Structures are given as structure tokens and as C-alpha cells.
Copies of this chain bind each other. A is one copy, B any other.
Amino acid sequence: MSEARSGSSVIPDDAPVAALRRGELVESVHRGRYAVVDPGGAVIDSLGDPAGYVHMRSSAKPFQALPLVFSGAADAFGFTDEEIAVACASHNGEPRHLAAVRSILRRVGLSERDLQNGFHPPMHAPSAARLLKTGEGPRAIHGNCSGKHAAMLAVCIHAGWDPAGYRDPGGPLQGLILRTVETVCGVEPGGVKLAGDGCGVPVFALPLKGMALGFARLAAGGFEGFPDDLSEALLRVRDAMRTHPYMIAGTGRLDTKLMEGTALIAKSGAEAVFAAANTEEPHWGVALKVSDGAGRALAPAAVGALARQGVRVPRGFSTSPVTDLRGETVGETVPLL
């Protein structure tokens, strides 16, 4: 199949990655594409078009956290690895996540009220139910992106930039983050396309293989030719993610379980994007996009792509039952990779 065009936008080549089976037939099918890249940029494995663009969404968070380290803010304020991990998180809004975000804000002399990420109930259902019971509505701190936003505020405070403008796509912080993404992901200036993320900060679109390359270099803890402070930041962010996988997502979540059960770092994002990388030799990074953005297809597709790289993924992710309203199993979601 060749590329299909819609207006000014290209729809990249893809292939079936997961399906919902009902009875003896496939009822619905999810397509996707992935690229596996080594730290030098060589594509080791791929499905679909590795050059097709992808919005990184929350998979960009480890890169968005790099300025926190290389600016000197993390050292100046004495951030712990747990706090650096929650800066890379799409967290569940569980108590430990909130405590880490609050600690970041406290260290830099700010409060919850300085967060501009909008709000949604905690992703962790028991935490959401507890909050509902108190009669409080969800606040920005409960949003899965609050650690990222707190870290962005911290960099502004350290650099002497107006923290109120931390989301401004034309401001100094977002410019620094964009250049960091370009460097780590090996994309020429202008090659990263900006749009708005769900939490109100710029989100980055770039070739799928560039996203995978960034993760390969994150897993390697740097890359030759990178400034020392950038490589040191990659190393510290990587180790914070490896040491505190719970802080990256939380109870029952794919990224957390993958990092606990393998030598990977992993970070998924909205509209069913996923990135992971091997922190052991040989280093490689993988970026995956379920073309239709369906969350239910992410785990089966990711597990399938990782299995092809020889990664033994903890059981229980690749298939899940489909039940009727009476609780009887009538189908299952399965990987096609």
C-alpha cells in the first residue's frame, strides 16, 4: 500500500497489530507501525513507514525533563530521583505521586496554584473514588502531567524566567525543550512540528524513527558528540525512571510493569503512542503508534513489537477478555504481531 494523502497531511503506511475477536471472527482490527533504532540511528526493525510522522504526546516527557537536570535546577534545588521520575510521568494521581509533585513545588517556592495543566480525576480509580468522597473536585495536581508541569516551573525559577509563562511556545523554556528534542532525536531544526498537547504545553511531532532514536540514546545514557551536561542529564533521567518505575505511571499500569519486569525504560502516551528502550547492551529504542489511537490496542501491539526484539514481557498484557454486561466472555483482544 502506498501513502494515502488527505489534504496537506500524509497518512503513513501501517499494518494490522491487534484485533478484537468476537466468536470465531475478528470484529475490529487495529493497525499500527513501529521502528526500532540503535543509538547511531540505524533502523534495526520496523513495521510500516519509519519516516512517517508521529505526535510523541506523553512519550516526550523524559526529554521534556532533561532541562531540569542540565540547567542545574535539579542539583540546585536538591531534587531526588523520585522527583525526577515523576517529572517524566503520566502518573496515576496516587498519594506518592502527589507527594512528589508537591515536593518539587515546595522546593522552588511555588504551590499547586501555579500549575496550568488543567485537571481531570486521578487515573487510579480508588484514588479518584477517594477524592470524590471528600467532596473535593479534581485539581491540577491530580492531572497525570502535574509532575512535568512542576518541573517546567522549577526550570523557570532556576533560570530566572517568569514561571507564569512556562507554557508559552515562544518562551525561553519551550524553545529550550524543542532544541533538546531535536538534538536527542536527531531531527534537523524545523523538522519537529509543534501542536497543542492535552495539558496545554507544546507537543512534538517527528518521524517515528526519530522518536525511537531519542529513546535509544536515553537508554544508552548519552551519545558521542553530545555536550557532557546533556549526556549526564540523559543518564540521570534514565536511572530515575529505572529506579522508580512506580513514579512513571503507577498501580497496574503498563509502563510501570514493563520497567519492573524487564531491563527496559518505557513511556506511553495518549492516542496510543508507546516508546521503550533497552538499557542493557545492545542499546536500542522502539517507537510505536497504533494508527487509530485506541488505548486497548496499545499493550497487545507493544508486547508484540517487544517480543520481536527478544524481550520477554510479563504475562497478562498481550490478550484481554471481552465480556458482555453479564460478565460472560464473548471475545478477546489479541496481538497480531
Contacts and interface: CB of A to CB of B under 8 A. Distances in A.
Interface of A: 1, 4, 6, 8-11, 15-16, 19-31, 53, 55, 116-120, 143, 193-200, 203, 205, 271-272, 291-294, 297, 324-328, 330-331, 336
A31 B143 CA distance: 31
A318 B151 CA distance: 39
Contacts of A143: 325
Contacts of A30: 292
Contacts of A22: 55, 195-196, 203, 205
A53 B324 CA distance: 21
A210 to B, nearest CB: 14
Contacts of A1: 1
B6 A11 contact: no
A213 to B, nearest CB: 19
A174 to B, nearest CB: 14
Q: How many copies does the complex hold?
A: 2
Contacts of A26: 6, 9-11
Contacts of A330: 195-198
Nearest to A55: B27
A199 B327 CA distance: 10
B23 A193 contact: yes
Nearest to A327: B118
Contacts of A297: 292
A20 B293 contact: yes
Given A197-B324, A200-B328, A325-B200, A9 B28 contact: no
